[in-house]
Amino acid sequence: MGIGHVKRNDQAVIGRGLGHRRSPFRGFDNGTKAKWQIFHIRVFTGLRAQVHSPGRGTGSILRGGPVFNDAVRHACFHKELEKTMFQHIPRRAGAFGALALTGAAFGAPAFATTLEISVTNTAASGGFSITPLFAAFHDGSYDAFNLGTSASAAVEALAEVGDATGVTAELAAADAKAQSVVIAGTETGPPTIDPGETATRQVTLDPSGNRYLSFLSMLVPSNDTFLGTDDPRAFDLFGAGGVFAGDFTIDVTASYLYDAGTEVNDPANGPAFILGQVGTDGADEGGTVQRASTLSAFAGLETPLGVLDDGLIDFTSEPGAFSVALISIREVPPAPVPLPATALLGIGGLAALGAVRGRRRAARP
């Protein structure tokens, strides 16, 4: 086999163009293409191959020229060609790998949702106050009380003195993943939320486990009157899909008022929030939870805020029209955060991918 014959074959391959779709050199830069064209000719013409690859030097196992048959020379050529091709893979894989990491960083959903809960006492000056509101976020299993049944010791403590410690423990026992906050007044004086005052707290929730809202608070002055939700699933914040239902407001009317049935209603014996009275001195009633009854006997008594106005405490005539408070719930937008390392890597990957494509375009004839 003459050298001219082999050259004609190589020239035929090379003559298709460096970027021809059938060329074995397609996808390499011009320098690499030229190097492997020379290598291809030298091997297949039986000449001494000068292989310039990392760690190899100028000599190689390819020396020996004419003693190699065509099959050996062909195998050696493709082995060396394969090495060079694999040298290009890490750069390309790095770019695409970075893009994959970027997708993981930006595509993963964030399940935690932060809500802001605001409680506004809608009474005018001289009306009722409410104790710090206990707000519970649970999976629907927390049922604080039921109409017609005896109140638990925890609900009794909240209804008589506004203590939310017990109901917080009951919530944890009913639902280990539940969340709760106690929303107290922020102005000077008692932590009650007084007429015209708004108190606000934020809480971060898991929509899959903190789906429902329940709330409890004591109405003062009273012996054991409280406001709350009898139905543990009355307020569905996220729905079955875990998506926040949207900002909304609950108008807490007198329809949400209950008598715990644990202390006799007596303005002269143990009502909370009346000057000169001790909230724990009331007489035990031994009853059950019922709809709240009139507190008209408290009119004219002095509280830490002033005298209770008779015209502002009649909630039994039209319970649904008597507003006690507004509970507003809105989603807090997530705060901007610095790009994570994977996102920065992804940006670098985009740049690397662009550079690779740029080199390919520049190498085309």
pLDDT in tens, 90-112: 443 443 343 333 333 343 344 79
Q: Which whole number is the average pLDDT over 15-22? A: 45
Note whether 133 and 52 are same-domain residues.
no
Q: Are residues 237 and 191 in the same domain?
A: yes
Least confident of 181-190, 302-311, 339-348: 339-348
Both 48 and 176 in one domain: the answer is no
Output the pLDDT for position 346.
57
The three-class DSSP label of residue 180 is strand
Instruction: Give the residue numbers spanning the domain of 299.
Output: 113-331
Quote the pLDDT of residue 190: 76
Within 10 A of 61 (CB to CB), how many other CB atoms are there? Answer: 10
pLDDT digits 0-9 by tens, 224-237: 999 999 999 999 99
353 within some domain = no
Is residue 7 situated within a structural domain?
A: yes
- The answer on 192 and 155 residing in a single domain is yes
Both 99 and 153 in a single domain? Answer: no
Residues 129 and 61 grouped into a single domain: no
Q: Is the pLDDT of residue 22 over 60?
A: no
Average pLDDT, the chain: 77
pTM above 0.85, yes or no: no
CA distance linking residue 316 with residue 318, whole number of Å? 6
pLDDT of residue 53: 40
Domain co-membership, 144 together with 70: no
**Residue at 341 is within a domain:** no
Average pLDDT over residues 5-21: 42
Q: Is residue 10 part of a domain?
A: yes
**Residue 205 forms part of a structural domain:** yes
pLDDT at res. 351: 56
Q: What are phi and psi of 67, to 5 degrees?
A: -75, -15
The answer to whether position 242 is within a domain reads yes
User: Is the pLDDT at 164 greater than 70, yes or no?
Assistant: yes
Q: Residue 334 has what pLDDT?
A: 86
Question: Are 346 and 160 contacting, i.e. CB atoms less than 8 angstroms apart?
Answer: no
**Dist. CA 335–CA 114, nearest whole Å:** 10
Shared-domain flag, residues 252 and 171:
yes
* Mean pLDDT computed over 259-268: 97
Q: pLDDT tens digits, residue range 33-64?
A: 455 454 444 444 443 444 344 444 444 434 44
Residue 360 has pLDDT above 70, yes or no: no
Nearest to 318 by CA among 275, 237, 255: 255
**The tokens 């394969």 sit on which residue?**
82
What element of type H or E holds 117? strand 113-121
Q: Which of 108, 131, 163 is the last residue of a domain?
A: 108
- Whether residue 326 sits in one domain with residue 259: yes
SS3 263: strand
How many separate domains does the chain show?
2
On whether both 119 and 255 belong to a single domain, the answer is: yes
pLDDT: is 96 or 360 the higher one? 360
Does 57 reside within a domain? yes
Q: Is there a contact between 164 and 134 (Cβ–Cβ < 8 Å)?
A: yes
Q: Is 84 helix (H, G, I), strand (E, B) or coil?
A: helix
Percent of the chain with pLDDT over 90: 58
Residue 178 has pLDDT above 60, yes or no: yes
User: Strands 179-183 and 133-138: what pairing?
Assistant: antiparallel
177 and 287 housed in the same domain: yes
Both structure tokens of 101: 């990491």
* CATH code, domain with 221: 2.60.40.2130
Integer Rg of the chain from CA: 40
DSSP assignment letter at 280: T
Share above pLDDT 70 across residues of the chain, in percent, rounded to a whole number: 61
Decide which of 108, 123, 142 is a domain's last residue.
108
In single-letter form, the type of residue at position 96 comes to: F
Domain assignment of residue 178, yes or no: yes
Residue 349 reports pLDDT greater than 60: no
108, 136, 165 — which closes off a domain? Answer: 108
> Angle at the Cα of 233 (from 228 to 239), degrees rounded to 5?
135
| pLDDT on residue 265 | 96
Residues 234 and 260 in one domain: yes
Closest CA to 298 of 271, 267, 319: 267
pLDDT reported for residue 335: 78
